Structure 1
Amino acid sequence: MKGTLVTDDVLVRTEGHAAQIVLNRPRALNALTHAMVGAIDSALTAAESDPSVETVVLSGAGERGLCAGGDIRAIHDDAKARGGASAAFWRDEYRLNARIARFPKPYVALMDGIVMGGGVGLSAHGAHRVVTERSRVAMPETTIGFVPDVGGTYLLSRTPGLLGAHLALTGAAVGAADAQLCGLADHFVPSELLPELQADLARLPAHDALARWARPTPEGELAEAREWIDACYAADTVEEILERLLDSGVPAAKEAAVTLQSKSPTSLKVTLEAVRRAGELGSLEEVLVQEFRVSCAAVTMPDLVEGVRAQVIDKDRSPKWSPAGLASVTAADVERFFAPVRDELTF
């Protein structure tokens, strides 16, 4: 793997013993397209087979973040057209997520700035996840009438206590310390030191480079919130969780309740069920199969189109969810998202 490979949206180059993969859509916060998934997969194939490459480093162009997620405008348009492009995208994206988790060489993700949705899938499954003081890590899918995917329910089902359920339902973004607490990151490196880290990753073993530049992580917020989060999210249903949050007397819990009240009722119920089922599944691949079923169902439902319209297209932030209330989302409605699909995801 020699020289520099340049595509429109993904840059791949070799520096010393490191293959550098750079997401290159800074105006779109490096949002992930289907073509980008293919380019990253090809870069990993080249890096895996090249004996001169010892480490893969993933980063994002621009100053705002690694990746804000998948290209939800494209998913919105496909959902309106009732096409099959989204399923094809997710099939390749989820396979890439699993490949990253199993990649045989050190895979270092620089999670600087915004890392959301699909960006979490490209980074948090890697062997070495680096966060900075600017990191904001989230799975905000319930905001747009969707459900956490890209292995997000696998990761969030394995956090301490019920922190993952809280993050999955609210879509809240966390900083460096809380990302580490939740198992989404490993190392804290101040953003000003990232150039030095990248230079050392090109010449040193990844473990040595990271040990040289990692610093103590500033304090987070979730550790102190564990008591009310674990108590509230242990409830059986979303309705009961909401009641506990409102009745807890904790200001932060009430804020979480207000946040939940703004989300898609269907997405909330499916997300809670998805996280709980993910915790009972043994492997990332099994969870990704479940997520593929859920995503394929979600793209046929009205809330995804409406959520993207309200948040991204019209930006009125006033989605009209259907159904509009939690009580109208039945157990059968939720179960439908987990039904097998005709062309299942396989590995």
Structure 2
Amino acid sequence: MTEPTVLAEVRGSLGLLTLNRPRAINALDVSMMEALPEALEAWRHDDRVRAVAMVGAGERGFCAGGDVRAVRQAHLDGGDGTRFFRMEYAVDLAVAEYDKPVVAVMDGITMGGGVGLGMNADLRIVTERTQMAMPETIIGFFPDVGATYRLSRSPGELGTHVALTGMTFGAGDAVALGLADTLVESSGVGDVLDGLAKGDAPSASVGRVDPPSGLAAARAWIDECYAGDDPVAIVERLETSSSPEARAAAATIRSRSPLAVAITLEALRRALTAGSLSEVLETDGVIASRMLDGSDFAEGVRAQLVDKDRDPTWRHARIEDVTRDEVLAFFP
């Protein structure tokens, strides 16, 4: 028989959820979006369970993100491509609003939908192996799963830099961005889970560790270059900056979908004034649905994940070619 894509077990006082698609770095699919809320709901009424922890199976990572190839194919086949997004966002909100403490162990690769699951836990653990990203502009999409709610509230413009470039970063930057709380050595994760199983409160199970952050050290040029609501002005400031890192960031953004970059910046700025994660997730649902048509999503997924030629043909040659009206059409 096929093994379940989510393993749910009770260990003493701990409800342990293991994302169980290790060959796909535990990429989220519909079956997982069904199993996770089912387990959470069952444990809500189970007095044995005092806390819940989420981990990833295998050695490569916690979760590589949502299965966007399946979303793209469902839409191309005339099916409901938005079904997965609706389910995913509902699970993210369920984690954020769960009435028992949730611990996420974001060890190894943690991207996209994996960040959406982990960043909404009560205790968010990263390790020395963590490689995190919201890489959606690479595939012509935007940082969904409520990520703009968190990234818009990161110090200065760190979240803007991460969202527009889609860059990968480690544990120290994850903590600096507000996507994680503390560093635990990967070899010590088992001890943390054992403590939770014995009834330790999550806050008592680990100490607070703030590892060094390269992003935090680069705030001077990041805050200066990424200020404002105009993506063209941001890229121009990056390109003319005296910082080699800034100029490299400009080249990276130029390689992303121009439309996705512009939509991402608009989503970030709107998320900053949103009243709740729930509100941002509702907006994400509208944007995601509209991006299935009339955007670079299908082409980006093709180039990056299907044909893997890494040579997308974007709808716009440059960020300067994207109009304000085009961007606003994706928002409610």
The TM-score bracket by the shorter chain reads: over 0.9
Instruction: Map 1:29-40 onto structure 2 (within 5 A).
Output: 29-40=25-36
Aligned to 2:284: 291
Q: Distance between the aligned counterparts of 1:246 and 1:79, measured in 2?
A: 37
Aligned to 2:123: 128
1:245 CA displacement: 0.6
C-alpha distance after superposition, 1:117-136 (max 9, x if no partner):
10011110110000000111
Q: Distance between the aligned counterparts of 1:305 and 1:216, measured in 2?
A: 40
Q: Distance between the aligned counterparts of 1:33 and 1:112, measured in 2?
A: 20
C-alpha distance after superposition, 1:171-196 (max 9, x if no partner):
11221111111110112100011111
C-alpha distance after superposition, 1:273-302 (max 9, x if no partner):
000000011101111111111100111134
Aligned to 1:186: 181
Structure 2: give runs of 5+ residues left out of the alignment. Answer: none
Q: Distance between the aligned counterparts of 1:218 and 1:208, measured in 2?
A: 18
Structure 1: give runs of 5+ residues left out of the alignment. Answer: 1-5, 340-347
1:252 CA displacement: 0.8
Change (3 A) 1:82 1:166: farther
AA in 1 matched with 2:103: V
1:34 CA displacement: 1.3
Tell whether 2:304 aligns with 1:308: no
Aligned to 1:342: none
Tell whether 2:161 aligns with 1:172: no
Tell whether 2:19 aligns with 1:52: no
Aligned to 2:17: 21
C-alpha distance after superposition, 1:304-347 (max 9, x if no partner):
111111111111111100122222211111011003xxxxxxxx
Aligned to 1:228: 221
Aligned-residue sequence identity (percent) comes to: 47
Is the 1:189–1:215 Cα contact (8 Å) retained in structure 2? no
Q: Distance between the aligned counterparts of 1:244 and 1:82, measured in 2?
A: 42
Instruction: Map 1:210-221 onto structure 2 (within 5 A).
Output: 210-211=205-206, 214=207, 216-221=209-214
Tell whether 2:320 aligns with 1:317: no
Tell whether 2:150 aligns with 1:155: yes
1:223 CA displacement: 1.1
Count of matched residue pairs: 331
Aligned to 1:3: none
1:207 CA displacement: 2.8
Is the 2:125–2:180 Cα contact (8 Å) retained in structure 1? yes
Aligned to 1:238: 231
Q: Distance between the aligned counterparts of 2:10 and 2:203, measured in 1?
A: 19
Aligned to 2:76: 80
Is the 1:116–1:140 Cα contact (8 Å) retained in structure 2? yes
Instruction: Map 1:201-212 onto structure 2 (within 5 A).
Output: 201-207=196-202, 209-211=204-206
Q: TM-score w.r.t. structure 1 length?
A: 0.92
Is the 1:197–1:209 Cα contact (8 Å) retained in structure 2? no
AA in 1 matched with 2:16: Q
Q: Distance between the aligned counterparts of 2:94 and 2:48, measured in 1?
A: 20
C-alpha distance after superposition, 1:240-275 (max 9, x if no partner):
111111111101111111110110000000000000
Q: Match of 2:62, SS?
A: strand
Runs of 4+ residues over 6 Å off in structure 1:
none
Q: Match of 2:150, SS?
A: helix
Is the 1:107–1:126 Cα contact (8 Å) retained in structure 2? yes
1:202 CA displacement: 0.5
Is the 1:10–1:23 Cα contact (8 Å) retained in structure 2? yes
- RMSD of the TM alignment (CA)? 1.4
Is the 1:79–1:300 Cα contact (8 Å) retained in structure 2? no
Is the 1:165–1:272 Cα contact (8 Å) retained in structure 2? yes
AA in 2 matched with 1:79: H
Is the 1:79–1:305 Cα contact (8 Å) retained in structure 2? no
Q: Distance between the aligned counterparts of 1:119 and 1:83, measured in 2?
A: 24
Change (3 A) 1:328 1:83: farther
Change (3 A) 1:208 1:151: closer
1:208 CA displacement: 5.3
